[in-house]
Amino acid sequence: MELALDLSPPESKHYRSWNERLRYVARYSQPEEIHVLLETAHSLGVRSVMAVLDPRIETALREFQSWRSDLDVWAVVPNMNAFIRDLTDRGMVGAALARFLRLRPAAMMATGVAALRSLGPLARADFTAGALWLAEMELAAASGLRVRRAFLHPQLTEIALAGRVTLLFTEFARRARSLGMEAGLVTHNCLRAAEVLGPGLDEFAAILAPCNPKGYKMAPSAAACGVLFRSDPARFWGSEVTAAQRVSARRGLAFASALGLKGAVLDFRTLDVLLRERASPASGG
């Protein structure tokens, strides 16, 4: 079973305590700590990094790929936490303009033409058009990174699944392919995704969903999710494998492997747990 690292900005995570939050945010706000994390993950067999891109993470990944040619980047777009902050500070136009001005001239031209094609929907604040334009700008801004897969941000995914906005998914997958990337989904509602998208689910090369022995976040039930996973195991990757640290990393990974999943995505906290378990084999029950 393959392993991938979730490199979302540390401030976007949920933590068990305020002290834990302070510790991880302070640690992974330092570029050198991100480099150490990437090297540690690589030593454990991680060959893909799923990242919500911000300047520090993008820079670290670009430098790491320069000497680790076997590392794939999976970009999660758009960065909704950053966009919401900019939206609060600058308004809708200011937030969009800030992203546009970060692009290289060629990318400005391409995204500008794309915006002109969707001018009507964008002017009407259409959800799908706005989400796709933001995603496209962030992918265009990721210059110098070897991005294998593009994942729609889970906040947009869950909203679109709830509203049955299938056009967002099909168009996102189409645009990812046009950029030479595979499309992916991150969701806590994989059964809902299968029902809403139907055959369109096949357009996504990788689907990340909770998978653990406790059934934690596996909606509507662990049994129902297990049936879906077994129907196409090469497409699914497990997340939340430790069920919020209720089970060992070793046991969680074994559970995902028994279902035949393609791989598992570990965040920096789960990576710490796995390192401790490998150092003390008796602790991995």
With bands split at pLDDT 50, 70 and 90, how would you rate the model's confidence at 174? very high
**Whole domain around residue 176: which residue ranges?**
2-283
Residue 77's SS3 state is: strand
Residue 240 above 50 pLDDT?
A: yes
Tell me which of 222 and 124 has the higher pLDDT: 222
pLDDT at 122: 46
Tell me which of 142 and 208 has the higher pLDDT: 208
DSSP 152: E
pLDDT at 15: 80
The DSSP result for 220-268, as a single string, is S-HHHHHHHHHHSGGGEEEE-TTTTTTS-HHHHHHHHHHTT-SEEEE-H
With bands split at pLDDT 50, 70 and 90, how would you rate the model's confidence at 119? very low
pLDDT at 283: 56
Q: How far is CA 117 from CA 67, 178, 237, in A?
A: 39, 16, 35
pLDDT at 123: 42
Q: CA-CA distance, 83 to 79, in Å (whole number)?
A: 6
Q: Provide the mean pLDDT of the chain.
A: 86
Comparing 17-21, 171-175, 212-216, which segment has the lowest mean pLDDT?
17-21
- Number of domains composing the chain: 1
What confidence tens digit (pLDDT) does each residue in 253-278 have?
A: 999 999 999 999 999 999 999 999 98
What confidence tens digit (pLDDT) does each residue in 48-60 have?
A: 999 998 888 988 9
Give the domain CATH number at 128: 3.20.20
Mean pLDDT for 14-27 is 87
What confidence tens digit (pLDDT) does each residue in 129-169 have?
A: 778 888 888 887 776 789 999 999 999 999 999 999 999 99
The pairing of strands 46-52 and 263-266 is unpaired
% of the chain at pLDDT higher than 90: 58
Amino acid identity of residue 132, one-letter, is: L
